[in-house]
């Protein structure tokens, strides 16, 4: 005769002791607290209640207190001031502003020169100064080349002048010609550097006047039109330096804080 195995009844108050197989009453081991907490409609997890009100001076549920800086940061990020008023842009007008040292500085003259708003004047100043310096150096090389190439012809003219007694004023002095050309080239190079580095209107105007006088003198004496490249370069330099210095003076008088143009 085979006996029917009787399954144990499930008792909600019984818990199994893992590893030993012993069962005990949970209410007897844990006391009456668990039995009370198991009552329907009652929860001891009060720390999970999101409706609890925390006071700033008492701290949060973990015991952390609030500092004035935290309150200020929360006020700024939320867009409301300490009085609960809505602030456009989230900035409290009563909050302390940035220090004067943190403000952006004004542009220097070189930074203003490199800004995109001066691109036209900057290109004219740079190109004209380069043309002036290159032309001055080229004139020295050119004069020296022709004096060396016509050395025999110059000597022949000087011998004829001495033979016929025409005087030294009718003789050709290659050294004096070269010395004069070197002095003129040095002056032009200095004016070009002044235009390039200092954006000087005085250098541009002086160079233009000096070049025009030399051009007229060359046309009258040698019947040769020269200095035209230098005249054009100085003309552009005059226009560009006057325009740039006008803009710079306006920025100095009424300029705003540094911007990215």
Other beta carbons within 10 angstroms of residue 226's beta carbon come to 15
Residue 230 has pLDDT above 90, yes or no: yes
Rounded to whole angstroms, how far apart are CA atoms 151 and 146?
8
**Beta bridge partners of residue 86, listed in sequence order:** 80
Query: What are the CA-CA distances from residue 196 to residues 118, 132, 190, 222, 249 (Å)?
Result: 14, 10, 10, 32, 18
pLDDT single digits (tens) 102-131: 456 778 899 999 988 899 999 999 999 999
According to DSSP H, which parts of the chain are helical? 26-30, 32-37, 68-78, 109-114, 119-149, 151-163, 174-198, 201-222, 228-254
List phi, psi (to 5°) of 152.
Answer: -70, -40
User: H-helix or E-strand containing 24?
Assistant: strand 23-25
Give the number of C-alpha atoms closer than 13 A to the C-alpha of residue 122, restricted to the C-beta side. Answer: 12
Query: What are the CA-CA distances from residue 20 to residues 15, 16, 120, 184 (Å)?
Result: 12, 8, 94, 114
Structure confidence at residue 76 (pLDDT): 46
Q: Pick the more confident residue, 105 or 156.
A: 156
Q: Which residue has the tokens 């022949």?
A: 156
Q: Which residue has the tokens 């954006």?
A: 199
User: Please, is 124 exposed, middle or buried when counting C-beta atoms within 10 Å of its C-beta (0-12, 13-18, 19+)?
Assistant: buried
List the single range of 1-5, 201-205, 222-226, 235-239 with lowest mean pLDDT: 1-5
Q: DSSP states of 178-189 as a string?
A: HHHHHHHHHHHH
Rounded to whole angstroms, how far apart are CA atoms 44 and 40?
12
Q: Pick the more confident residue, 226 or 256.
A: 226
Secondary structure letter of residue 86 according to DSSP: B
List phi, psi (to 5°) of 80.
Answer: -125, 145
* 80: helix, strand or coil: strand
* 47: helix, strand or coil: helix
Q: Pick the more confident residue, 96 or 194.
A: 194
Residue 43 has pLDDT above 70, yes or no: no
List phi, psi (to 5°) of 15.
Answer: -120, 150
107: Cβ contacts below 8 Å, ≥ 6 apart: 115, 251, 255, 258
| Count of residues in the chain | 261
Mean of all residue pLDDT scores within the chain: 75
């Amino acid at each position: 005769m085979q006996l029917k195995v009787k399954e144990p009844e499930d008792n909600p108050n019984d818990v199994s002791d893992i590893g030993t197989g012993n069962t005990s009453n949970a209410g007897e081991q844990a006391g009456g607290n668990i039995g009370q907490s198991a009552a329907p409609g009652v929860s001891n997890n009060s720390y999970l209640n999101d409706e609890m009100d925390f006071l700033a001076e008492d701290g949060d549920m973990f015991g952390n207190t609030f500092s004035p800086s935290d309150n200020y940061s929360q006020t700024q990020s939320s867009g409301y001031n300490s009085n609960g008023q809505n602030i456009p842009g989230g900035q409290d007008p009563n909050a302390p502003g940035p220090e004067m040292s943190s403000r952006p500085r004004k542009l220097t003259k070189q930074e203003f020169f490199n800004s995109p708003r001066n691109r036209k004047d900057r290109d004219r100043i740079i190109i004209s100064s380069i043309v002036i310096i290159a032309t001055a150096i080229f004139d020295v090389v050119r004069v020296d080349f022709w004096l060396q190439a016509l050395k025999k012809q110059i000597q022949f003219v000087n011998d004829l002048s001495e033979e016929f007694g025409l005087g030294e004023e009718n003789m050709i002095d290659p050294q004096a010609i070269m010395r004069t050309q070197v002095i003129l080239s040095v002056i032009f190079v200095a004016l070009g550097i002044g235009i390039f580095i200092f954006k000087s209107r005085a250098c541009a105007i002086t160079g233009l006047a000096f070049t025009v006088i030399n051009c007229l003198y060359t046309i009258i004496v040698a019947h040769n039109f020269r200095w035209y490249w230098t005249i054009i370069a100085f003309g552009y330099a005059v226009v560009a330096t006057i325009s740039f210095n006008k803009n710079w003076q306006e920025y100095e008088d009424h300029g705003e804080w540094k911007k990215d143009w």
